[in-house]
Amino acid sequence: MKAVRSATRSRKKYEHVELTPLRDSEVEDERESSVTQQWLEYAWRKLLALLWILVALALAVYLQLPDIVLTGATRDKPHRQMNGFLFNVALACFGGWGCIAAYLIVWVKYVQKDTREWEEVSPRAIPIATILAVLSLFSFCGAFWPLWGFLSVPIVFMLFLGVLNTAHFVPI
């Protein structure tokens, strides 16, 4: 009974409101505001992606990541060595994940011009790519654990997000 009363009250509350059609200038203003809103959202996504890339680059420079990858250790602590086997596993998994992504994005979408969903074209590609991405993250964390300890988890996460956000600037 209470539900019926509240429904009739809400109808009575809005009965006095008249619906008037929008004028052409109001419709045009709405379109302009939606275009402006869409552009602002696009710009915000690009700026956020650029921020992640800059954070990852700054972190890589600060941690001397190129030296670590090439020599296996930092200049200031040469006795701490990264795990080379896990690093190679991580690179292989990341490469496999990247190949699956390139297949789905470039080959299926732009070369074959297939408009179907990825799950219909290749139903096993997304789960395999997910497994490879997670394995690469764990392997990178394990590879850098002797160098940075527990901090390797957030460091690898930030570097991964930086690499992932570079896709925003690929001109496809």
pLDDT tens for residues 41-95? 999 999 999 999 999 999 999 998 998 898 887 777 777 889 999 999 999 999 9
121-136 per-position pLDDT tens digit: 889 999 999 999 999 9
pLDDT at 157: 94
pLDDT confidence of 12, banded at 50, 70, 90? low
19-30 per-position pLDDT tens digit: 555 565 555 656
pLDDT at 13: 54
Determine, yes or no, domain membership for 141.
Answer: yes
Determine, yes or no, domain membership for 49.
Answer: yes
Determine, yes or no, domain membership for 60.
Answer: yes
Determine, yes or no, domain membership for 57.
Answer: yes
Determine, yes or no, domain membership for 17.
Answer: no
The residue among 133, 129, 124, 135 whose CA lies nearest residue 100 is 129
Per-chain mean pLDDT for the chain? 84
Determine, yes or no, domain membership for 10.
Answer: no
User: What percentage of the chain reaches a pLDDT higher than 90?
Assistant: 48
139-169 per-position pLDDT tens digit: 999 999 999 899 999 999 999 999 989 988 8
**How far is residue 110's CA from residue 119's CA, in Å, rounded to a whole number?**
16
pLDDT at 6 over 70: no
Q: Which long-range contacts does 130-139 make (Cβ < 8 Å, 24+ apart)?
A: 132/93, 132/94, 132/96, 132/97, 132/100, 133/93, 133/94, 133/97, 135/89, 135/90, 135/93, 136/89, 136/90, 136/91, 136/93, 136/94, 136/97, 137/90, 139/86, 139/87, 139/89, 139/90, 139/93
Q: What is the DSSP letter of 149?
A: G
Determine, yes or no, domain membership for 20.
Answer: no
The Cα diameter of the chain in Å comes to: 80
Determine, yes or no, domain membership for 102.
Answer: yes
pLDDT at 19: 56
**Inter-residue contact 140 to 156 (CB < 8 Å):** yes
**Inter-residue contact 84 to 72 (CB < 8 Å):** yes
Domain count, the chain: 1
Domain that holds residue 73: 44-169
